[in-house]
A and B are shown apart, each in its own frame.
Chain A
Amino acid sequence: GAVVSQHPSWVICKSGTSVKIECRSLDFQATTMFWYRQFPKQSLMLMATSNEGSKATYEQGVEKDKFLINHASLTLSTLTVTSAHPEDSSFYICSARDPDQPQHFGDGTRLSIL
């Protein structure tokens, strides 16, 4: 079945650092990947849709300069949280869609900014 790998699973860093999270589709090519954010005990909120070879589409209220998305190949999308601050601490989850199949999710990245 479709497998999505997300790395790292947990990162702790100082305020002001930029953090990169990778999302890979391991056994299929994904022209579209999605990035979500989840606060404790809450649902997933879609941040942006990552399109291979073109700019990401951001949801309303998501700062594109803060959350940089790159989808340079059909199997890799990256989310970079620039100049991270404590309020950016959250659980970030990516998903990828094999054409004509449901979205499959990575295991998430827990980001803690001190």
Chain B
Amino acid sequence: GEDVEQSLFLSVREGDSSVINCTYTDSSSTYLYWYKQEPGAGLQLLTYIFSNMDMKQDQRLTVLLNKKDKHLSLRIADTQTGDSAIYFCAESISGTDKLIFGTGTRLQVFP
């Protein structure tokens, strides 16, 4: 079945770059997504990438997709304390509207 894996925890210093990694299993996924969840809140869509793209940049966010290795990463430049949250990657299941979420990575930014 589908399985999306992420490292559980990442700690970075304010101002540094953060890289959050994700591996997925469905090679026919059309889109891959990054969502952010703050404590007690819902999910905020950060960015997404179409499966035929290698990279997408949106302000401080850069998404890299290695389709051969089924590896997705999110780089946050100049990480701020407000970026502290849980980050979920998600893959769309081909032929459906469903999303399968990763395990989530807790990003902690310290001064």
Which residues of A are in contact with B by a Cβ distance under 8 Å? 4, 6, 32, 34, 42-44, 46, 49, 93, 95, 97, 102-108, 110
Size of interface on B: residues with Cβ below 8 Å to A: 19
Assembled-state Cα–Cα distance A23/B104 (Å): 24
**Of all chain B residues, which has the CB nearest A93?**
B42
- Note all chain A residues with C-beta closer than 8 A to B45: 102-105
Chain B 33-61 near chain A by CB (<8 Å), digits 1 or 0: 10100001111110010000000000000
B48-A106 in contact (CB<8A): no
- Note all chain B residues with C-beta closer than 8 A to A4: 42
* Residue from B99, B102, B103 within 8 A of A103 (CB atoms): B99
Nearest CB of B to A98, in Å: 11
* Interface of chain A: mostly helix, strand, loop or mixed: strand
A105-B103 in contact (CB<8A): no
A107-B41 in contact (CB<8A): yes
Q: With A49-B97, A97-B97 known to touch, is A105 a contact of B42 (CB < 8 Å)?
A: yes
Assembled-state Cα–Cα distance A4/B101 (Å): 19
Assembled-state Cα–Cα distance A108/B35 (Å): 14
Q: With A32-B97, A43-B88, A49-B97 known to touch, is A105 a contact of B102 (CB < 8 Å)?
A: no
Assembled-state Cα–Cα distance A95/B98 (Å): 11
A43-B42 in contact (CB<8A): no
- Note all chain B residues with C-beta closer than 8 A to A93: 42-43
Q: Quick one: which of B43, B44, B101 has the most chain A CB within 10 A?
A: B43
Nearest CB of B to A91, in Å: 8
B101-A43 in contact (CB<8A): yes
Nearest CB of A to B104, in Å: 5
- Note all chain B residues with C-beta closer than 8 A to A95: 43
B33-A102 in contact (CB<8A): yes
- Note all chain A residues with C-beta closer than 8 A to B31: 102
* Residue from A6, A42, A43, A46 within 8 A of B98 (CB atoms): A46
